Amino acid sequence: MRRMVNRMTDRAETGREIATEAKAERGRSVKLVDRVFDKLHERIRTGNYAPDSRLPGEHELASMLGVSRPVVRDALSRLREQGLIYSRQGAGTFVSAQVSAAAQLAYSPVKSIADIQRCYEFRLTIEPAAAYYAAQRRDEAAIARIAAALAELREATSHQLHRTDADFLFHKAVAEASNNHYYTASLEALRAHIAVGMHLHGLSLMGPRPGLEQVYEEHKAIFRAVADGRAEDARDLMLKHLEGSRDRLFEGKVLDLSF
Q: Domain spans of the chain?
A: 2-101, 105-250
Q: pLDDT of 3-44, one tens digit each?
A: 554 554 555 454 454 444 444 444 445 578 888 888 888 888
Say what the pLDDT of residue 22 is.
41
Say what the pLDDT of residue 89 is.
78
pLDDT, mean over the chain: 81
- The CATH code for residues 2-101 is 1.10.10.10
Say what the pLDDT of residue 242 is.
95
Residue segments in the chain with a per-residue pLDDT below the cut of 70:
1-30, 98-108, 201-210, 259
Find, among 168, 177, 140, the residue nearest to 60 by Cα. Answer: 140
pTM value is 0.61
Say what the pLDDT of residue 131 is.
98
Say what the pLDDT of residue 233 is.
98
Say what the pLDDT of residue 10 is.
53
- The CATH code for residues 105-250 is 1.20.120.530
